[in-house]
Amino acid sequence: MKENEFIARFGRIYEHSPWVAEKAAPLVDGSADVDVIARVMEDCVDNASRERRLALIRAHPDLAGQAAVAGELTVDSETEQSSAGLDQCSPEEYVRFQALNEAYRGKFGFPFVMAVRNKSRTEILAAFESRLENDYDAEFETALLEIHKIARLRLVALGAN
């Protein structure tokens, strides 16, 4: 697979961050499997500047947030959030998500990121509350780990070798 084909195919794996695929493209053989592609892309993120990693975290939408209500999520994010039932929140759950989103962004300056595919709303809310207790550095690293999980799930869903 040529570099431009790799970028076209995998440029959306990391939310609004095609730079990851651009960095990975020259490092991955076209016949690479999901594990190899995932590891190379993870390394590209992990070796990026702290500012670039922060921008990657900030590229993610709030869970059950305004972008979801307005229909402004990427196709991947919409699929992931709906698999967790976030598109079916009760009014009380929606209010709780909004309050947690606000508290989380207020504390950390970036959105709560979690690989929610096939998680329940209860599991997500519990993780939200638990992770609010983290310090900034721990949560920064946790967000990146979750982003890598999301990317791997997207690679699998895309049917990467």
Active site residues: 60
Q: Are 39 and 66 in contact (CB under 8 A)?
A: no
